[in-house]
Chains A and B, each alone.
Chain A
Amino acid sequence: MEKELKQFTVSVYTENNIGLLNRISAIFQRRHINIESINSSVSEIESVSRWTIVVNLSEEQMKKIIGQIEKQVEVIKAYYHTEEEIIYQESCIFKMKSDLLFDERQIQNIIKDSNARIVTVNRQFFVIEKSGRKEEIELLHRELSVFGIMQFTRSGRISVSKEEMKISKMLAAFNH
């Protein structure tokens, strides 16, 4: 009876609040749901924060979790979307030995073909940055790892939905 797991991107609009990270992450932790990535930033609305959380779970579970998130006093609204319903980006940076740039000519091509860019180069190392979809980043990682990566890190996902989320209307209604 295992329900099919899907990847969902959750967008949560919240008041700025120190304790909220705790509350939101506890909702996932209690149910043993691993957060794939989480990002918090300002949003299109002044003084409202926007969180983007990526999780793998069944749609049924997802709906229940959205209910639990929205129940938090400081959460204004939460939405969930499948990958097809959003435009998203993730970004990553690689630190690699500078010698490689000269010894391994393909690296230049890989960087070019993958639309990555070199952020900085010095005698010891150079840094590559790439933004894109998950698979693009995974591909670049695979391609570069054969040369040896000194450091790698990848950001949480940020996304916007194709459909309108109507959050501004909701807030406007409150102010009346």
Chain B
Amino acid sequence: MKETQTIENKATNTQQTERISGSEAIVRCLLAEGVDIIYGYPGGAIMPVYDELYKYQDKIHHVLTRHEQGATHSAQGYARISGKVGVAMATSGPGATNLVTGIADAQIDSTPMVCITGQVASHLLGSDAFQETDIVGISTPVTKWNHQITKASEIPEVMAKAFYIAKSGRPGPVLIDITKDAQFEEFDFVYEKCTGVRSYKPVPETDIKSVEAAAELINNAKKPLVVWGQGVILSEAEEAFKAFIEKAGIPSAWTILGVSAIPTEHPLNVGMLGMHGNYAPNVLTNECDVLIAIGMRFDDRVTGKLDEYAQQAKVIHFEIDPAEVDKNVKTDVAVLGDAKASLEAILPFIHKNTHTEWHQKFKDLYEIEYEKVIKHDLHPTKEGLTMGEVLHQINLESKGEAAIVSDVGQHQMIACRYAKFNQTKSNITSGGLGTMGFGLPAAIGAKMAAPEREVVSISGDGGYQMTIQELGTIFQQKTAVKIVVLNNDFLGMVRQWQQLFFDKRYASTEMTNPDFVAIAKGYYINARRVTKREELAEAVAEMMASKEAYFLEVCVEKEGNVFPMVPSGASVSDIRLS
């Protein structure tokens, strides 16, 4: 640790230069940026950097994932739980293309990540050389920024810029492609952190007039509704957000990336928005008089049919990215800027309120949802385990302290709906891209970034098998993640749509599955399968008590459905309870 310090000091100490290779410079840049863990996979075009990583292994921990996609998702999980920049590394060609899914996921979910890829030597560029691929071209539409380095002397400046861009403003993925000759080349290294890029304005200035206009609308509102997203977490605005909604007394609903910003049990939390969200906030979106969106982007899974979304309401949008304003929903007042700064600015203008009657409407609708859906999910009496009761057991054990990392599908919606959170940055899931296979590797990254925390990965039998090979990483790294597979022998979410909208024609959604317990045991991971309700509580308790990685397969009912549901193309207030 001490040595890292000295290297860091040397590196940030601007005046001193040292003659080193490009590949060593890359590692030194990572150290100067405070990187302690990177996820990656070696290969020809990145070997010089790996050689340096070998020398610096006591300062940077390189995690060998079992697939480059796993490296990106692990870097994402690391970033999402810590707020720091995740780093993934791969060789040229197939190594680089294997990163693309994770990069696209990080782009749409605003996750700070830096990907470093090796590239063929610069004199071979464009010659279809072995493992040459135009990764800069390929990754352009899914990166916040990318750049190819062909000279070692460019490395410090470009790397500094990469970290700055990835983390600042609305975060996102950056890819840096480095030719092999630039890795070998020696040059005079000096590192300076990037503090600004002339053409790039990460945070727009907050206009106090818009703050006042927003406050006036909020103060005059009779039925205000807050809808918040990940922006609250990304700008670390949790406290400011809580202070704001508490003073204004506004019922507040979340997107699946925004949840955990305030504790689930907070009295103003009225639940999840969107397609499989809660009944009350969806229905009452079309009844509120002022809709206050904070750090969210009106994704179509949240809004349903746009022409019938909150048409009656005045809309206020707190947003860091000017391109999001009026993109999907027309706003009456846009408060541009960082969510934390804007919320702190508006607080003094806000009148105290309670909106008691308006709150009662949420409670009434919750009761309906509880009777029709929630009760049967969490406390089923009929045969067949439900996904909801598994989540309920996990909640009982975790007491809201665990981070929940979900994959994509029915189990994801159930996890987001029912998981309880006391801490922020605790719901890690692939929201915008809906990337099956995200969960397991993301859980690895999350656990490594926050080893003191309980990290529970929840996947379906489909998505789990998309990145199942990362069990190897868990075994090798001794990562104590808890792995739950909710096995319904179906690609459940697609099957649900087939049942509801394609007359039960289950085209290619039935899965003949392997012995998941045997597979986990093959990686020397403790494993157990539960098929009966009587065993569930004890099995979950055993898993949560384990000090090591633990795999739990729960065989749930095969054709369970997730409700409520806003059918695609329908209005949020036409949400179905069955």
Question: Would A19 and B140 be within 8 Å (CB), given that A64-B326, A68-B323, A76-B198 are in contact?
Answer: yes
Question: Would A73 and B197 be within 8 Å (CB), given that A64-B327, A67-B323 are in contact?
Answer: yes
Is A102 located at the chain interface by the 8 A CB criterion?
no
State the Cβ distance, A16 to closest chain B Cβ, in Å. Answer: 11
CA distance A19 to B144 in the complex (A): 12
Contact A22 B140 (CB under 8 A): yes
- Chain A residues with CB under 8 Å of B137's CB are 19, 22
Contact A73 B200 (CB under 8 A): yes
- Chain A residues with CB under 8 Å of B200's CB are 73-74
In the complex, which residue of chain A has the Cβ closest to the Cβ of B197?
A73
Contact A26 B141 (CB under 8 A): yes
Annotate A67-85 by CB proximity to B: 1 below 8 A, 0 otherwise: 1101101111000000000
CA distance A15 to B199 in the complex (A): 7
Is A14 located at the chain interface by the 8 A CB criterion?
yes
CA distance A71 to B141 in the complex (A): 12
State the Cβ distance, A28 to closest chain B Cβ, in Å. Answer: 12
Is B413 located at the chain interface by the 8 A CB criterion?
no
CA distance A19 to B147 in the complex (A): 8
State the Cβ distance, A47 to closest chain B Cβ, in Å. Answer: 10
Is A3 located at the chain interface by the 8 A CB criterion?
no
Annotate A15-31 by CB proximity to B: 1 below 8 A, 0 otherwise: 10001001100100010
Is B165 located at the chain interface by the 8 A CB criterion?
yes
Contact B199 A74 (CB under 8 A): yes
Chain B: interface residue total (CB-CB under 8 A): 21
Q: Which single member of B136, B146, B323, B326 contacts A70 (CB below 8 Å)?
A: B323
- Chain B residues with CB under 8 Å of A15's CB are 198-199
Main secondary structure of the interface of A (DSSP, over half): helix
Question: Would A67 and B198 be within 8 Å (CB), given that A19-B136, A22-B140, A26-B140 are in contact?
Answer: no
Annotate B197-211 by CB proximity to A: 1 below 8 A, 0 otherwise: 111100000000000
Q: Which single member of B199, B325, B326 contacts A75 (CB below 8 Å)?
A: B199
State the Cβ distance, B413 to closest chain A Cβ, in Å. Answer: 28
CA distance A175 to B197 in the complex (A): 10
Is A87 located at the chain interface by the 8 A CB criterion?
no
A-B pair number, CB within 8 angstroms: 46
Q: Which single member of A26, A63, A73, A175 contacts B165 (CB below 8 Å)?
A: A73
Question: Would A19 and B323 be within 8 Å (CB), given that A26-B140, A26-B141, A76-B198 are in contact?
Answer: no
In the complex, which residue of chain B has the Cβ closest to the Cβ of A15?
B199
- Chain B residues with CB under 8 Å of A74's CB are 145, 199-200
Annotate B172-215 by CB proximity to A: 1 below 8 A, 0 otherwise: 00000000000000000000000011111000000000000000
Is A35 located at the chain interface by the 8 A CB criterion?
no
Is A101 located at the chain interface by the 8 A CB criterion?
no
Is A139 located at the chain interface by the 8 A CB criterion?
no
CA distance A175 to B322 in the complex (A): 23
Is B369 located at the chain interface by the 8 A CB criterion?
no
CA distance A171 to B196 in the complex (A): 13
Contact A71 B321 (CB under 8 A): yes
CA distance A22 to B322 in the complex (A): 22
CA distance A71 to B196 in the complex (A): 15
Q: Which single member of B136, B199, B324 contacts A73 (CB below 8 Å)?
A: B199
In the complex, which residue of chain A has the Cβ closest to the Cβ of B140?
A22
Name A102-142 residues within 8 Å CB distance of B: none
CA distance A19 to B141 in the complex (A): 11
Annotate B111-151 by CB proximity to A: 1 below 8 A, 0 otherwise: 00000000000000000000000001100110011110000
Contact B322 A67 (CB under 8 A): yes
- Chain A residues with CB under 8 Å of B327's CB are 64, 67
- Chain A residues with CB under 8 Å of B136's CB are 19
- Chain A residues with CB under 8 Å of B322's CB are 67, 70-71
- Chain A residues with CB under 8 Å of B141's CB are 23, 26, 30
Contact B197 A64 (CB under 8 A): no
Name B340-372 residues within 8 Å CB distance of A: none
- Chain B residues with CB under 8 Å of A63's CB are 326
- Chain A residues with CB under 8 Å of B140's CB are 19, 22-23, 26
CA distance A15 to B198 in the complex (A): 9
CA distance A83 to B555 in the complex (A): 65
- Chain B residues with CB under 8 Å of A71's CB are 321-323
- Chain A residues with CB under 8 Å of B323's CB are 64, 67-68, 70-71
CA distance A74 to B146 in the complex (A): 11
In the complex, which residue of chain B has the Cβ closest to the Cβ of A27?
B141
State the Cβ distance, B108 to closest chain A Cβ, in Å. Answer: 13
CA distance A109 to B144 in the complex (A): 55
CA distance A75 to B323 in the complex (A): 14
- Chain B residues with CB under 8 Å of A26's CB are 140-141
- Chain B residues with CB under 8 Å of A73's CB are 144-145, 165, 197, 199-200
Contact B326 A171 (CB under 8 A): no
State the Cβ distance, A54 to closest chain B Cβ, in Å. Answer: 21
Most chain A CB atoms below 10 A, which of B140, B165, B196: B140
Most chain B CB atoms below 10 A, which of A15, A22, A71: A71
Most chain A CB atoms below 10 A, which of B140, B199, B324, B327: B199
In the complex, which residue of chain A has the Cβ closest to the Cβ of B200?
A73
State the Cβ distance, B298 to closest chain A Cβ, in Å. Answer: 13
- Chain B residues with CB under 8 Å of A19's CB are 136-137, 140, 146-147
- Chain B residues with CB under 8 Å of A30's CB are 141
State the Cβ distance, A106 to closest chain B Cβ, in Å. Answer: 50
Contact A76 B321 (CB under 8 A): no
CA distance A32 to B199 in the complex (A): 27
CA distance A68 to B321 in the complex (A): 10
Annotate B295-333 by CB proximity to A: 1 below 8 A, 0 otherwise: 000000000000000000000000001111111000000
- Chain A residues with CB under 8 Å of B144's CB are 73
CA distance A71 to B144 in the complex (A): 9
CA distance A74 to B325 in the complex (A): 21
- Chain B residues with CB under 8 Å of A76's CB are 198-199
- Chain A residues with CB under 8 Å of B196's CB are 174
In the complex, which residue of chain A has the Cβ closest to the Cβ of B327?
A64
CA distance A40 to B323 in the complex (A): 24
Name A1-48 residues within 8 Å CB distance of B: 14-15, 19, 22-23, 26, 30
- Chain B residues with CB under 8 Å of A68's CB are 323
Task: Please give me the 5 A-B residue pairs with the lowest Cβ-Cβ distance, nearest first.
Answer: A67-B323, A76-B199, A73-B145, A73-B200, A71-B323
| Extra pairs beyond A67-B324, A70-B322 (6, CB < 8 Å) | A14-B199, A19-B137, A64-B327, A74-B199, A76-B199, A174-B196
A-B contact list, 23 entries, CB within 8 Å: A14-B199, A15-B198, A19-B140, A22-B140, A26-B140, A64-B327, A67-B322, A67-B323, A67-B324, A67-B327, A70-B323, A71-B321, A71-B322, A73-B145, A73-B165, A73-B197, A73-B199, A74-B199, A74-B200, A75-B199, A171-B198, A174-B196, A175-B198
